[in-house]
Structure 1
Amino acid sequence: MFLAASWCFGRYMWILPIITLVWLILSMGTTYGIAVALNHTFPDFPYISYTGVEVPERGIFTFSIAVTAIMLAANAEMRFLFVKEIFREKEMNKRWKDTNTAGLILGLISSFGLLLVGCFQVDVMKPPHYFGAFLCFVVAIVYLWLQTVITWKLRHVAQKQNDGKVWRAIRLFVWIFQILNSAASTILLILFSVSKTIYKLQRKADMGTKWDTLRDVFLLSTSTEWLLAFSIMVYVLTFIPGFKRLRDIKVKVTVDKGGGEKSGAIPNGDQI
């Protein structure tokens, strides 16, 4: 992922979060539009997964979600490398370096969960689909809060530098936005989980359907799922200021000539 991202964007890595968000919006809008146009789902308001159940939108849904998962993993990896370099320069202790590593692991797990959601359709393969949704949403919330803590530490370290009022203001804005976004995402996750559980239990008890008495709780669960997905994706935009500071990105390749001797590095791209 790092190799592909560095080759595609180089020092313009800050574009990656924007492309990730735009890709997701266009993809979800496309599958939703096709599903509604072909009467494969209802316009107001299905769960996200039910916009990719039937052909042809199912193939588009799987492909677009898989690409989104890969791009999210690339964002998580680049964020890790950026923070790693800052922590190296500032000689941070092992605890903060381990925190950064934990963030990368959580980001990759969440991306893998999204991949499961796209590859296993909810109508025929519920267990892996729901497991992927758990990884995608719940682990992502933990990731958001962890990155918010890391941003706080980066601000604390940067305050010792004289890098201008503009960058200090940007870091403060990013940190506050991350706090608000993480809090909103957490609330949305709780609302989604509770409302969906209530809807399923009441439907099993024959207390109504999504078209009558259970309409309100059903719409609450579906709308909060959509909002939660977009809230998590918008968080990625907060990586832009950090990625803009990347000037050189390089992939190093060494070749063993035999006998333990290694050749020189073969550059591919630029260097962080």
Structure 2
Amino acid sequence: MWWFQQGLSFLPSALVIWTSAAFIFSYITAVTLHHIDPALPYISDTGTLAPEKCLFGAMLNIAAVLCIATIYVRYKQVHALSPEENVIIKLNKAGLVLGVLSCLGLSVVANFQKTALFAAHVSGAVLTFGMGSLYMFVQTILSYQMQPKIHGKQVFWIRLLLVIWCGVSAFSMLTCSSILHSGNFGTDLEQKLHWNPEDKGYVLHMITTAAEWSMSFSFFGFFLTYIRDFQKISLRVEANLHGLTLYDTAPCPINSERTRLLSRDI
């Protein structure tokens, strides 16, 4: 049996591969059509103009669904492994909420281009990166709480390094972006898709875009750490019938039906 056939390990793998493909295909299309500069554009710039924005939006919507599925499976796994730990239960629920909000933001970013509805696009980006960073932080705390009884220290340290990487990238992006949009480097910068080295604020722009890509890579790395964990889990769906027909109103004892949803049990 291949590694991606074990448990639900294909979920985080598919999430990272699909999201990376969304970025790569949109980037190649945008550069080929000369809609953006090849050197470190904003991720959103690769999905601003047609036809790449159609590809970008469709693929990121699917990525958001994969992300929600991954986050939910992680939530169920932690809940099953630590059913009576109050601190872990609260952190686990907080992680689920933060993760879902981040996925919602990803869908908003995919469907509201910055040149069309800048406020909505920025709101989606804040949800994606802001809530996503907090989700990573909460999951890292959970990893600390669950060691060494449930898993070793190595996973915690890897996730901690990825969170630090994410934090440094986020700080750099926010700082340089705030300075760049302070008004001292021109107006309507959100409409600008082509930058020249002679342009005012070019260095800040490059640092901001590099930090944005770096932050995305830290997200990819974090979800890849789920692969080994997900090899030990599967989900089942259970149908509980409350009557002999779909029109019965009185409760009736009927045998439940269980169907394996994906792969094996925990």
TM-score exceeds 0.5: yes
The match for 1:6 is: none
Q: Distance in 1 between matches of 2:142 and 2:256?
A: 32
1:1-272 pair list within 5 angstroms: 12-88=7-83, 91-92=84-85, 94-158=86-150, 171-201=152-182, 202-204=184-186, 210-211=195-196, 212=198, 213-246=200-233, 248-257=234-243, 258=248, 259-269=250-260, 271-272=265-266
Secondary structure, aligned partner of 1:261: coil
Q: TM-score w.r.t. structure 1 length? A: 0.85
1:261 deviates by 2.3
Deviations 1:8-31 (A, max 9, x none): x98530111111111111111100
1:182 deviates by 0.2
1:83 deviates by 0.3
Q: Distance in 1 between matches of 2:224 and 2:147?
A: 17
Stretches of structure 1 lacking an aligned partner (at least 5 in a row): 1-8, 159-167
1:236 deviates by 0.6
Q: Please tell me the residue identity of whatever aligns with 1:263.
A: I
1:96 deviates by 2.1
1:219 deviates by 0.3
1:156 deviates by 3.8
- Structure with more of its chain in helix, by fraction: 1
Secondary structure, aligned partner of 1:204: coil
Q: Distance in 1 between matches of 2:127 and 2:88?
A: 24
Q: Please tell me the residue identity of whatever aligns with 2:205.
A: F
Contact 1:12–1:244, Cα closer than 8 Å, also in 2: yes
Deviations 1:199-244 (A, max 9, x none): 12232379xx942242211100011111111211220111122211
1:124 deviates by 0.4
Q: Distance in 1 between matches of 2:121 and 2:223?
A: 23
Between the two proteins, what is the percent identity of the paired residues? 24
Q: How many residue pairs align between the two structures?
A: 247
Secondary structure, aligned partner of 1:192: helix
Q: Distance in 2 between matches of 1:132 and 1:268?
A: 36
Q: Distance in 2 between matches of 1:151 and 1:240?
A: 14
Contact 1:11–1:249, Cα closer than 8 Å, also in 2: no
Higher mean C-alpha displacement, 148-157 vs 262-271: 262-271
Contact 1:114–1:132, Cα closer than 8 Å, also in 2: yes
The match for 2:191 is: none
Secondary structure, aligned partner of 1:251: strand
Q: Distance in 2 between matches of 1:204 and 1:98?
A: 46
Contact 2:71–2:100, Cα closer than 8 Å, also in 1: yes
Q: TM-score w.r.t. structure 2 length? A: 0.87
